[in-house]
A and B are shown apart, each in its own frame.
Chain A
């Protein structure tokens, strides 16, 4: 099932299927390991459209709500 990162539940894992942001942002995400095909886990989300905390590789990364909204994950 394909879901936006924002719509995922806490603790859900999946492979990133698509990242629909501009190229500059894509490169930036990629340098942190967020790229198509990577395994991603949603760890937390701040209230009121706050940042989303995801686990990728062995590390954690915080993403703005706006960005997380355009990351599609296959669960």
Chain B
């Protein structure tokens, strides 16, 4: 049996899904955090003696949970048991929970699917297409609606009612209706629609047990579809009967809401908040990395020396795993061993920044600020042929390009996806990269950090402008729901943070360690020198870099952050260092991003994207190389490149003005 959780974007389906199945998914306060569907299982087991229903929150884990699980067994005759529970609890496997396992055979396993949010059933983006396809396969529908916004949500509900499938209506965000002075009569609504109605609050978890009960009670019922001709009229009628509004004063959050999209103050407010956010992340991250490096030096070094001694301080594996650890203290940045530099890079430098970034991102996500940033920057994004919604993938990309690329799915046209994907993977450094760039370029002076940032901004503008006029297709216009500000729930915040950090450790860390391993092996067998000789003319001729840097470009395919570290021992001049860092950021996204890009854009577009990256690197690297040879002061260069890119964008706009008009798909 397939149970579908379906509803508008940003109504809290994911939170309800997590409660029902115990499978964690990232929730946030902007439309479309679930781009692909997520599956989980709910095991329903009925006993005729009693109708008491318990929802077992047990997941594989602590003793406390196991005890709770046993208690539930004793008390409850009818249970909903999460499938995870069966897998996770060893006692169950061994059959010690006699009654439980016996009856499990007769239990019914329900597949729960968290369908991506959709406003309607005639789709125009991928997320919505997925929703419609899933709908046809489902056996039971749980329609989650935002109780504070009944009118718009019921539009989908009435469309769903056309299908002959049993259905429950969930009025989520029930607690919020009180703050907003909205009162809804669920009984009446249930009568009018002819389906059961349950009131829940996904954040606090109230009403979710009742939802499970209602589901069990109705899971075997049949229903025939009803069609309403004048849908909106009917909705108006329903809303008029079940909802009443009370007038009340604006809350603090609502005032903040008005301020953040204020025509004059909105923009400075956004810039200020972003600056504060990033400087806080960098400050705290910096503090944490100092701490972690200290810890590594004090304790981890002992372990490294031990391993070194055990290996006899020489040999093939010694070079690969530990690298160059001679000297009084281990220089973790230049040792280049998998266990030295590899571990230092990932856990010592990058992880602290990632944690801080995700704490802050989680907060502004759940608060609901991201869609507002999209509105503020909409106008700016038009210059590069996009609209405001593309800001969200780009913001995510600052943490890690992979989730950024995955968020491309929310964009409606292929053109938007392509431009956003390319511009993002070329110019936006992820947190790991930023951390290392600041670390490496910072020692050369703040102006050089400025050069890197200004160059990336210029490339962003120029590349975006060119793509705007070159890439065929259309860019859809911005039409976006803006969620109200919500106070982020601490528990959900922590859960999401843990999931994301876990994701980083499991997905990114092995790539870095593996990458360093591969490079070390290649160096030992001499392959690096061979590849280097192939790229010699480009590296030396165009970028003006010493030939040794070729190995950094190779490792950069795997992890950029690791590559930048490799530049340190090469004794580069300031100009060379900055050129190398810029080229490293531009020439190729890391392999993980590349793989996701391939999945999102398809082979053809990814090949095009890769070609663009190569070209951009050649041009930019060449220009920066020439500019930073000493005849031009870095600060003058910053001004020149920024002015040029803005002028370029404006001139292109004027030249192409007529073409632009035709693109708008209006009557």
| Residues of A participating in the B interface, judged by any CB pair closer than 8 Å | 20-22, 24-25, 27-33, 35, 37-38, 43-51, 53, 56-64, 66-67, 70
User: Which A residues are in CB contact (< 8 Å) with B156?
Assistant: 31
Is the Cβ of B263 less than 8 Å from the Cβ of A70?
no
Q: Which of B147-155, B195-203, B604-612 contacts A (4 or more CB under 8 A)?
A: B147-155
A24–B412 Cα distance when bound, in Å, is: 13
Which of B266, B267, B379, B667 makes the CB contact (< 8 A) with A21? B667
Q: Which of B61-69, B318-326, B370-378 contacts A (4 or more CB under 8 A)?
A: B370-378
Within 8 A of A (CB), among B583-625: none
Task: Answer yes or no: B119 CB below 8 A from chain A CBs.
Answer: yes
Chain B interface category by residue count: 35 or more
Task: Answer yes or no: B481 CB below 8 A from chain A CBs.
Answer: yes
Task: Answer yes or no: B503 CB below 8 A from chain A CBs.
Answer: no
Is the Cβ of B149 less than 8 Å from the Cβ of A57?
yes
CB-nearest residue of chain B to A53: B261
Is the Cβ of B379 less than 8 Å from the Cβ of A48?
yes
Q: Which of B350-358, B459-467, B472-480 contacts A (4 or more CB under 8 A)?
A: B472-480
Known: A30-B232, A43-B258; 18 extra A-B contacts, CB below 8 A, are A20-B666, A24-B665, A29-B479, A33-B152, A35-B232, A46-B263, A47-B267, A50-B263, A51-B379, A53-B482, A58-B180, A60-B482, A62-B261, A62-B479, A62-B481, A62-B482, A64-B479, A66-B664
Task: Answer yes or no: B414 CB below 8 A from chain A CBs.
Answer: no
Task: Answer yes or no: B124 CB below 8 A from chain A CBs.
Answer: yes
Is the Cβ of B388 less than 8 Å from the Cβ of A62?
yes
Task: Answer yes or no: B537 CB below 8 A from chain A CBs.
Answer: no
Contact with A along B465-506 (1 / 0, CB 8 A): 000000000000111111110000000000000000000000
User: Which A residues are in CB contact (< 8 Å) with B258?
Assistant: 43-44
User: Which B residues are in CB contact (< 8 Å) with A27?
Assistant: 120, 122
Known: A51-B375, A63-B478. A58 touches B149 (CB 8 A): yes
User: Which A residues are in CB contact (< 8 Å) with B482?
Assistant: 53, 59-62
CB-nearest residue of chain B to A47: B263
Is the Cβ of B375 less than 8 Å from the Cβ of A58?
no
Question: How near does chain B come to A50, taking the closest CB pair, in angstroms?
Answer: 4
Is the Cβ of B478 less than 8 Å from the Cβ of A32?
no
10 closest cross-chain pairs (CB), A and B: A31-B119, A64-B477, A31-B120, A57-B151, A33-B152, A64-B478, A60-B482, A50-B379, A59-B149, A62-B375
Task: Answer yes or no: B387 CB below 8 A from chain A CBs.
Answer: yes
User: Which B residues are in CB contact (< 8 Å) with A53?
Assistant: 261, 375, 482
In the assembled complex, 26 residue pairs joining A and B whose CB atoms fall closer than 8 Å, in A order, are A20-B666, A20-B667, A22-B665, A30-B120, A30-B155, A31-B152, A31-B156, A32-B479, A35-B232, A43-B258, A43-B261, A46-B375, A46-B379, A50-B263, A51-B379, A51-B388, A57-B150, A58-B150, A58-B182, A59-B146, A61-B479, A61-B481, A62-B371, A62-B480, A63-B478, A64-B378
Task: Answer yes or no: B264 CB below 8 A from chain A CBs.
Answer: yes
CB-nearest residue of chain B to A59: B149
Task: Answer yes or no: B262 CB below 8 A from chain A CBs.
Answer: yes
Known: A44-B261, A62-B375. A32 touches B150 (CB 8 A): no
Question: How near does chain B come to A17, taking the closest CB pair, in angstroms?
Answer: 15
CB-nearest residue of chain A to B148: A58
User: Which B residues are in CB contact (< 8 Å) with A48?
Assistant: 379
A37–B151 Cα distance when bound, in Å, is: 13
Known: A57-B149, A57-B152. A62 touches B478 (CB 8 A): yes
User: Which B residues are in CB contact (< 8 Å) with A70?
Assistant: 666-667
| Residues of B participating in the A interface, judged by any CB pair closer than 8 Å | 119-120, 122, 124, 146, 148-152, 155-156, 180, 182, 232, 257-258, 261-264, 266-267, 371, 374-376, 378-379, 387-388, 477-484, 664-667
A56–B481 Cα distance when bound, in Å, is: 10
CB-nearest residue of chain B to A50: B379
Which of A25, A37, A38, A51 makes the CB contact (< 8 A) with B665? A25
Question: How near does chain B come to A31, taking the closest CB pair, in angstroms?
Answer: 4
Is the Cβ of A58 less than 8 Å from the Cβ of B480?
no
Which of B152, B264, B266 makes the CB contact (< 8 A) with A32? B152
A25–B261 Cα distance when bound, in Å, is: 24
Which of B119, B180, B477 makes the CB contact (< 8 A) with A66? B477
User: Which B residues are in CB contact (< 8 Å) with A45?
Assistant: 263
User: Which A residues are in CB contact (< 8 Å) with B667?
Assistant: 20-22, 70
Which of A25, A47, A67 makes the CB contact (< 8 A) with B264? A47
User: Which B residues are in CB contact (< 8 Å) with A63?
Assistant: 477-479
A48–B150 Cα distance when bound, in Å, is: 33
Most chain A CB inside 10 Å of its own CB: which residue of B148, B376, B666: B666
User: Which A residues are in CB contact (< 8 Å) with B666?
Assistant: 20-22, 25, 66-67, 70
A61–B152 Cα distance when bound, in Å, is: 11
A31–B156 Cα distance when bound, in Å, is: 8
CB-nearest residue of chain B to A61: B481
Is the Cβ of B266 less than 8 Å from the Cβ of A46?
yes
A35–B236 Cα distance when bound, in Å, is: 12
User: Which A residues are in CB contact (< 8 Å) with B374?
Assistant: 62
Is the Cβ of B151 less than 8 Å from the Cβ of A28?
no
Most chain A CB inside 10 Å of its own CB: which residue of B264, B267, B477: B477
User: Which A residues are in CB contact (< 8 Å) with B483?
Assistant: 59
A59–B405 Cα distance when bound, in Å, is: 29
User: Which A residues are in CB contact (< 8 Å) with B149?
Assistant: 57-59
Most chain B CB inside 10 Å of its own CB: which residue of A21, A46, A49, A56: A46
User: Which A residues are in CB contact (< 8 Å) with B665?
Assistant: 22, 24-25
CB-nearest residue of chain B to A20: B667
Which of B261, B263, B477 makes the CB contact (< 8 A) with A67? B477
User: Which B residues are in CB contact (< 8 Å) with A37?
Assistant: 232
CB-nearest residue of chain B to A63: B479
User: Which B residues are in CB contact (< 8 Å) with A67?
Assistant: 477, 479, 666
A53–B354 Cα distance when bound, in Å, is: 34
Is the Cβ of A51 less than 8 Å from the Cβ of B122?
no
Which of A32, A38, A58, A62 makes the CB contact (< 8 A) with B119? A32
Question: How near does chain A come to B342, taking the closest CB pair, in angstroms?
Answer: 45
CB-nearest residue of chain A to B387: A64
Most chain A CB inside 10 Å of its own CB: which residue of B150, B257, B482: B482
Question: How near does chain B come to A45, taking the closest CB pair, in angstroms?
Answer: 6
User: Which A residues are in CB contact (< 8 Å) with B119?
Assistant: 28, 31-32
A71–B150 Cα distance when bound, in Å, is: 23
CB-nearest residue of chain B to A60: B482
A29–B480 Cα distance when bound, in Å, is: 10
User: Which B residues are in CB contact (< 8 Å) with A61?
Assistant: 479-482
Question: How near does chain B come to A56, taking the closest CB pair, in angstroms?
Answer: 8
